[in-house]
Amino acid sequence: TPPTAEQLLEALDPEQREVATSFGAPLCVLAGAGTGKTRAITHRIAHGVATGRMDPKHVLAVTFTAKAAAEMRSRLRDLGVPAVQARTFHSAALRQLRHFWPRVVGGPMPELMPQKYAGIGEACQRLHMSVDRAALRDIVAEVEWSRVSMLTPESYPAAAEAAQRPGVAGFDSRSISRILTQYEEVKKERGVLDFEDVLLHMVGFLTERADVAREVRSQYRHLVVDEYQDVSTLQHALLRLWLGSSDDLCVVGDAAQTIYTFAGARASFLLDFGKEFPRARTIRLERNYRSTPQIVRVANTVLDGARGRTRASRLTLVAQRPAGPPPVVEHFADDDAEAQGTAARIAELIEEGRSASDMAVLFRTNSQSEALEQALTARGIGYLVRGGDRFFDRQEVRRAMVTLRAATRVEQLEPDRAVRDVLTQLGWSPNPPEGTGALRERWDSLQALVGLADTVLARPGAGLPEVVRELEERAEAQSAPVVDGVTLASVHAAKGLEWPVVHLVGASDGLLPISMARTAMEIEEERRLFYVALTRARDLLTISWAAARTPGARGSRKPSRFLDGIIAAPAEPAGGGGATARRTGRRGATVYSECTVCGEALVSAREQRVGRHGGCPAGAGEKVRDALRTWRAQRAREQGSPPFAVLTD
């Protein structure tokens, strides 16, 4: 049974309750990571529906990535409001454009171009510009930036200069402007639309056609936007047009988590919300419910080092949860050793009883995922790559979807039997095949489909059509079903999500911050990425970096500058209160440790061994025994497999 209106409010703290119940003026929620922003807005919708203030069909909840939208839909379903539209800007606009195109332009909407590379490559060719793959990638990114900033080829050069974008891949802004013009030609000739065209056309329809605007506005009367710090000029324009003269708008965001500036996001829409909507009410949330105090402290330290607007608008997080294990910073000789070490650490945690799906490994660039995939495979640990959108591209998954859809038209067997029959034809069996390799991978994805189908069928009244609909929605949202595996994800793809255990790899200067980031603004964006990564962790956070790229090479990388103040050697004197790091000769592991009971810095070797602060006031009884037990388990591990945190006297 879904929660009642009272129960929905009971699950919130007083400020969050304000978010859920405050109507009549635009609402802006400014709050740091893990403070319950997403929770507050999903409860706002559920409460609005439960009290009859909102009709679910008039609500549009918008968020930033397809995965976040899928996550929001599932949270809303848990709260008893399955019918609400929770979409990305893009998918909401696409739906509207498809609907209105025949009326406004005539005929069906043109095909969507799956990606821009070919089109922009051709534009460059026509202009006799020779570009390699890397240059093309940079040009594509610049074209996207220009279009989400709503620039024309004519207005681009001046705007690019003002935004400190002095040129791309060796081309000055005038050349980019010519590429922009030519690219429009290419699309027109082919009769296709790209990703940004969908929003741009919808903005055009809403501006020029009163009937379209009227219809859209009467459909979507209550607008809620999550992750508002990453909204672009184009998305903002669309939002204003959806809104019209209404001000039933609630936005939530954290300027310290703006990580898409390079792609045209502008935190100023969030920070200047009060100027844009003078009647707006602003609510701040400070309590962090997600992470242990130690993780919160590390996150706060990262923001302490911030500059510019990130610093000015920073919100301090106040930890609510009890202390947990100390975050660990480790360093390895090379990338391969780091991947092996991370996989070994994950294997240990699984042995200790942690579920693989409780863990995530985060990295700055997708190319870092391969070494990790190999290391996990070698240990027989399952994983899923988020944002890799591989699951729904797999042949067996595509075929399963086609066959299941066909099976809905036949509807004789019990639905769970029907699912199993279909999947058995494609290579599924109740028990996994021996060994690893392609056969096992295939079984794993089919098994994931069985699991997903069972979850859907457990809902009252659900049958095969509901299973198929869920699969289609997930395919659109690129949201692979949860398999019992470790999540591998780029930090960008991890935004808004959380895991009990998070490993951030590649925390070295050059990888995070990425070497391409040069200007102060770009470095600040990298810092925000670092902050996003750390704040995904609930209980256990490990940050690692490797000195060299390849084994045997002389390691020249340095730990990420964002670790300044987090790893500080030598240890501060007792009572100094700062975070402590120990560097040891052996294997060079660096340990950042705090009292597992009260969070105080551990200074002496003895304290570090016991995992408890010398004069810890809370240090009696069960908690200390736990700390000792953890330490013993750790020592036992260290004597067997390669140690991660070497503690010496």
Position of minimal CB gap to ligand ATP: 36
Stretch of residues binding ligand ATP (CB under 6 A), selected from 31-39, 120-128, 332-340, 556-564: 31-39
The answer to whether the CB of 384 falls within 8 A of the CB of 483 is yes
How many H-runs (helices) and E-runs (strands) does the chain carry?
26, 18
Give the footprint of Mg ion on residues 37-76 (CB under 5 A).
Answer: 37-38
CA separation, residue 242 to residues 22, 44, 196, 202, 547 (Å): 21, 20, 17, 10, 50
Output the smallest distance, CB 399 to ligand ATP, in A: 36
Among 20, 26, 28, 35, binds ligand ATP (CB under 6 A): 35
Q: Does 16 bind ligand ATP (CB under 6 A)?
A: yes
* C-beta atoms surrounding 232 within 10 Å: 24
Q: Answer yes or no: is 375 a known binding residue.
A: no
Q: Does 264 bind Mg ion (CB under 5 A)?
A: no
- Residue 223 or 237: the one with the smaller Cβ distance to Mg ion is 223
CA separation, residue 459 to residues 132, 143, 454 (Å): 51, 45, 9
- Residue 37 or 557: the one with the smaller Cβ distance to Mg ion is 37
Q: Answer yes or no: is 38 a known binding residue.
A: yes
Phi, psi of 481 (to 5 degrees): -60, 150
The answer to whether the CB of 207 falls within 8 A of the CB of 232 is no
Query: How many chain residues interact with ligand ATP (CB under 6 A)?
Result: 18
Q: Does 301 bind ligand ATP (CB under 6 A)?
A: no
- Residue 289 or 631: the one with the smaller Cβ distance to ligand ATP is 289
**Cis-peptide into 570, omega within 30 deg:** yes
* C-beta atoms surrounding 86 within 10 Å: 27
- Residue 29 or 595: the one with the smaller Cβ distance to ligand ATP is 29
Output the smallest distance, CB 63 to Mg ion, in A: 8
Q: Answer yes or no: is 35 a known binding residue.
A: yes
Q: Does 12 bind ligand ATP (CB under 6 A)?
A: yes
Output the smallest distance, CB 539 to ligand ATP, in A: 12
**Contacted by 567, from ligand ATP, Mg ion, none: CB < 5 to 8 Å by type:** none
Sign of CA dihedral 247, 250, 255, 257: negative
Q: Answer yes or no: is 66 a known binding residue.
A: no
Q: Per-residue string for binding with ligand ATP, 437-476, x by CB under 6 A?
A: ----------------------------------------
Stretch of residues binding ligand ATP (CB under 6 A), selected from 10-18, 50-58, 183-191, 358-366: 10-18
Sign of CA dihedral 453, 454, 457, 460: negative
CA separation, residue 350 to residues 5, 119, 347, 381, 482 (Å): 39, 47, 5, 9, 17
User: Residue with structure tokens 């016991």?
Assistant: 610
Q: Answer yes or no: is 24 a known binding residue.
A: no
Tell me how far apart the alpha carbons of residues 605 and 393 are, in angstroms, rounded to a whole number.
52
- Residue 34 or 611: the one with the smaller Cβ distance to ligand ATP is 34
Q: Does 631 bind ligand ATP (CB under 6 A)?
A: no
Q: Answer yes or no: is 585 a known binding residue.
A: no
* C-beta atoms surrounding 30 within 10 Å: 23
Q: Answer yes or no: is 578 a known binding residue.
A: no
Pairing of strands 580-583, 590-593: antiparallel
Q: Answer yes or no: is 435 a known binding residue.
A: no
Output the smallest distance, CB 71 to Mg ion, in A: 9
Give the footprint of ligand ATP on residues 496-535 (CB under 6 A).
Answer: 496, 498, 535
The DSSP output letter for 555 is: P
User: For the chain, what percentages of helix, strand and coil (3-state, to nearest 5) are there?
Assistant: 50, 15, 35
Q: Does 496 bind Mg ion (CB under 5 A)?
A: yes
60 burial class (0-12, 13-18, 19+ CB within 10 angstroms)? buried
Phi, psi of 293 (to 5 degrees): -60, -30
Output the smallest distance, CB 37 to Mg ion, in A: 5
Q: Does 36 bind Mg ion (CB under 5 A)?
A: no
Stretch of residues binding ligand ATP (CB under 6 A), selected from 29-37, 127-135, 341-349, 506-514: 29-37
**Contacted by 290, from ligand ATP, Mg ion, none: CB < 5 to 8 Å by type:** ligand ATP
Tell me how far apart the alpha carbons of residues 386 and 499 are, in angstroms, rounded to a whole number.
13
List residues forming the annotated binding site: 31-38
Interacting residues toward Mg ion by CB under 5 A: 37-38, 496
Interacting residues toward ligand ATP by CB under 6 A: 12-13, 16, 31, 33-39, 254, 257, 289-290, 496, 498, 535
